[in-house]
Amino acid sequence: MESLYIMKYRIYIDEVGNNDLGSSTNPNHRFLCLTGVVFELDYVKNVLTPDLECLKNSISKAIPMNPLSSIAKKW
């Protein structure tokens, strides 16, 4: 019997733009960018998630967990 393997995917979508259309009369200031990426779920589990966790851990060691705590002490 032939094994049936169904690949599953995850899509990540993000948008950025200027929603404050009243802030400028210049039409060039109005923009919208929609970006999306699609990953196979095994890749997300085995590569993407561990790599992102490693990146986050390397950054969090350089940045204080509560960056406002040093400011609060001055007040």
Say what the pTM is.
0.57
Q: How far apart are the first and last CA of the chain?
A: 72
Mean pLDDT, 10 residues at a time, over the chain (75 residues)? 82 85 73 91 92 86 59 50
Report pLDDT for 75.
45
CB atoms within 10 A of CB 10: 13
- Which region holds residue 7: left if phi is over 0, alpha if psi is between -120 and 50, else beta? beta
Whether the Cβ atoms of residue 11 and residue 36 lie closer than 8 Å to each other: yes
Report pLDDT for 24.
72
Whether the Cβ atoms of residue 48 and residue 23 lie closer than 8 Å to each other: no
